[in-house]
Amino acid sequence: RGREYEIDGRRVDGYYESESADGIQRYVLQFHRCFWHGCPTCFQVNRDRTLSSTNRGDTIHTRYERTLASTYRLRKRGYHEIEKWECNFDREYVSWRLREEAVASFPMTNIVIAANTTALARLKLYDYLEKLDKRVLYYDTDSCIYLSTGEPNEYEPRTGNFLGDMTDELESYGRGSYIESFVSGGPKFYSYIVRTPEGRTHEVCKIKGITLNFKNSIVLNFNSIKKLIEENERKRREAEEQTAGKAVINLHFTAIRRTAFHEIITQNETKSCAPVKRKFINNRYSFHTVS
């Protein structure tokens, strides 16, 4: 609501006082409707056109003049007027958000400690991967899936609830549950089937960027992912067989390489040299050469 306070015989939208070193400061709050107060931003043309059939002097320009005169009188009497135009308020209202609604930052956070903890967690994961060796089927930034034969001397990562311990995600299905089938199409793209001691099976799919609701699960499931991977593998083998039938020069040599840990090593390498089809080969505007 507007016009809630009366000052010197004039009604205003808001009023408050505050103490300062210079004494009591008096503030008047005014909210100006663009049409009724003659906004110069919203109404830049036809400002002298009559708006009322009974009052020929009622125009956008005269309304704006009355607004300026009212502001001048209040400031002359010592009031600090804070005014807001309707058009500016609408733009601010769209993006306005109370600070109380935002989540308060925890005062004990530290980005350096967080980065160091993440780096140490990667080193811990590398330690597990080194001990599991070729038994690893899949690993991510903080998890791994590996083969377990159940032999007495076989290494098993320690599981628990403490920092540095791995969590057994199969415990929720019951003690003794295991993964009987696993397929993966890349990072954060895998599916597996869990078999419980009671003989029941549970299908799990993890695909980054896709919400696996009921409708999507009909299309994306263990069988469809397995079929997709097998089809891609079949096409890859067919492409290799077609390449094997061509004239190829195979090279076997030793090369000096740098490892991921910046060590200089000498290793045996094999490369194949064969003509390939480039996109510019059949272009009559380019040279018919391939290097």
Q: Is the pLDDT of residue 111 over 90?
A: no
Query: Can you tell me the mean pLDDT for 245-263?
Result: 74
Residue 94 has pLDDT above 50, yes or no: yes
Higher pLDDT residue, 265 or 145?
145
Over residues 270-285, the pLDDT tens digits come to 876 665 554 444 444 4
Residues in Cβ contact with 221 at an 8 Å cutoff, skipping those fewer than 6 apart: 191, 203, 205
- Work out the average pLDDT over 79-97: 74
Max mean pLDDT among 179-183, 213-217, 248-252 falls in: 179-183
pLDDT at 9: 77
Q: Tokens representing 215? A: 């409708």
**What's the number of CA atoms in the CB half-sphere (13 Å) around residue 22?**
4
**Gap between the Cα atoms of 149 and 196, Å rounded:** 17
Helix (H) or strand (E) holding 189: strand 189-195
What proportion of the chain, given as a percentage, has pLDDT over 70? 84
pLDDT for residue 247 is more than 80: no
pLDDT band, residue 102 (cuts 50/70/90) = low
Is the distance from CB of 34 to CB of 86 less than 8 angstroms? yes
Q: pLDDT digit string (tens) for 15-28?
A: 888 888 888 888 88
Give yes or no for a contact between 246 and 274, defined as CB atoms under 8 angstroms apart. yes
Q: Are strands 201-207 and 178-186 parallel, antiparallel or unpaired?
A: unpaired
Q: What's the confidence (pLDDT) of residue 264?
A: 83
DSSP-assigned states of every residue in 131-182: HHGGGEEEE-SS-EEE-----TT-----B-SSTT-B--TTGGG-TT-EEEEE
Q: Rounded distance, CA 49 to CA 228, Å? A: 72
Q: In the predicted model, what is the mean pLDDT of the chain? A: 81
Residue 202: which pLDDT band, with cuts at 50, 70 and 90?
very high
**Domain ranges across the chain:** 6-100, 124-238+248-256+270-290
Section 105-117 average pLDDT? 82
pLDDT band at 166 (very low <50, low <70, confident <90, very high): confident
